[in-house]
Amino acid sequence: MRTIKLGKSSLDVPTIAVGCMRMGGLSIAEAERFVQTALELGANFFDHADIYGGGECERKFAEAIHMSPSVREKIIIQSKCGIRRGMYDFSKEHILSSVDGILKRLRTDYLDVLLLHRPDALVEPEEVAEAFEMLNSSGKVRYFGVSNHNPGQIMLLQKYLKQPIVANQLQLSVAHATMITAGLHVNMQDEFAVDRDGDVLNFCRLHDITIQPWSPFQYGFFGGVFLGSDKYPKLNEKIDEIAKKYGVSNTTIAMAWLLRHPAKFQPVTGTMNVERLRDCVKATEITLTREEWYSILLAAGNTLP
């Protein structure tokens, strides 16, 4: 497995992150097989959130991986907090209590990375800074990041934080690529020119913040998977054509499309299927040509001016 540097941290992380949002639906035996396969593939970066399964995903993960000090030192764990029922909460009290709950469920003393899950309209960055400083100085969290944040929101937080924001988890796939396509339609009057996120792609590159694409196979906001979908016939035809050339699955090519981008994304998988996870990891062995990358972009319905 190839590795990249996670933002301005000292962490060398696998290019593919293993998302654990759906782990709550597995039996313990299934979860054990899944995490063991991930480790065998070198995919030892596991992404969690306190809301996944109401905490059940974290508990099941800890049981499935047989968490112990010797196991913990071989893996990298990231979790997220800030989403509550009907609201978002970045208060100092909620962040601190959330981390305590996460650590208890994961049976560990520390997180490698903590992300703030979705922007809180009532955020007081000074409180966030106090919480982060307490978590960092106590050894409970090594590094910090955000999820679904735009440049202005990140800069507001960073103004008060002592620690650098090392990651930003954002929805991104070839069928949900507005952060890429807006940059291709600069000064145009078409829909693709609309900057929906404050040029977050280039902002993160300029500030050494690793973008972690979530839902790398989805279109819309959980609209469905584009692979095999009759909504994307041209895209599937093109991906299948390129997959045949490389002798791999369509999943591998869809993931390789993200990895080809020079921003050095760290895509987060969502599958609990071990074979599909293997296909995702296989993408790290493939570098699409420029022609192949653009042909997939256009086949998804994106355009060039």
Q: Is residue 295 part of a domain?
A: no
3 state SS for 11-72: CEEECCEEECCCHHHCCHHHHHHHHHHHHHCCCCEEECCCCHHHHHHHHHHHHHCCCCHHHH
Mean pLDDT of the chain: 97
Q: Is residue 68 part of a domain?
A: yes
Q: Is residue 190 part of a domain?
A: yes
Mean of pLDDT values over 36-53: 98
- Which tens digits make up the pLDDT trace of 272-289? 999 999 999 999 999 999
Q: Is residue 61 part of a domain?
A: yes
How far CA 220 is from CA of 151, 173, 178, in Å, comes to: 22, 10, 11
Count other Cβ atoms within 10 Å, centred on residue 32.
16
- Which tens digits make up the pLDDT trace of 143-202? 999 999 999 999 999 999 999 999 999 999 999 999 999 999 999 999 999 999 999 999
Which residue do the tokens 């001016």 mark? 305
Q: Is residue 203 part of a domain?
A: yes
- The fraction of the chain above a pLDDT of 90, given in percent, is 99
Mean of pLDDT values over 221-243: 96
Mean of pLDDT values over 88-117: 98
Query: What pLDDT is stored for residue 221 in this prediction?
Result: 86
Catalytic residue among 52, 143, 219, 232, which?
Answer: 52
Q: Is the pTM of this model over 0.75?
A: yes
| Segments forming the whole domain that contains residue 148 | 3-231+254-287
Q: Is residue 247 part of a domain?
A: no
Long-range CB contacts (< 8 A, 24+ apart) of 156-163?
Answer: 156/123, 156/125, 157/116, 157/123, 157/125, 157/128, 157/129, 159/125, 160/125, 160/126, 160/128, 160/129, 161/125, 161/128, 161/129, 161/132, 162/129, 162/132, 162/133, 162/136, 163/132, 163/133, 163/136
Query: What pLDDT is stored for residue 148 in this prediction?
Result: 97
Q: Kindly state the DSSP code that residue 176 receives in the 8-state scheme.
A: B
Mean of pLDDT values over 9-14: 98
Number of structural domains, the chain? 1
Which residue do the tokens 């654990």 mark? 20
Catalytic annotation on 52?
yes
DSSP helix/strand/coil, 50: coil
Please determine, for residue 220, whether its predicted confidence score (pLDDT) is greater than 90.
no
- Please choose, from the candidates 195, 201, 221, 91, the residue with its C-alpha nearest in 3D space to the C-alpha of residue 154: 201
Band (pLDDT 50/70/90 cuts) for residue 223 is confident
Query: What pLDDT is stored for residue 286 in this prediction?
Result: 98
Mean of pLDDT values over 51-58: 97
How far apart CA 208 and CA 7 sit, in angstroms, is 5
Query: What pLDDT is stored for residue 222 in this prediction?
Result: 82
Query: What pLDDT is stored for residue 145 in this prediction?
Result: 98
Q: Is residue 53 part of a domain?
A: yes
CATH of the domain at 189: 3.20.20.100
User: CB-hemisphere CA count at 13 Å for 48?
Assistant: 30
Amino acid at site 106: L
Pairing of strands 210-214, 45-47: unpaired
Q: Is residue 147 part of a domain?
A: yes
Tell me whether residue 156 is exposed, middle or buried, using C-beta atoms within 10 angstroms of its C-beta: 0 to 12, 13 to 18, 19 or more: middle
DSSP helix/strand/coil, 35: helix
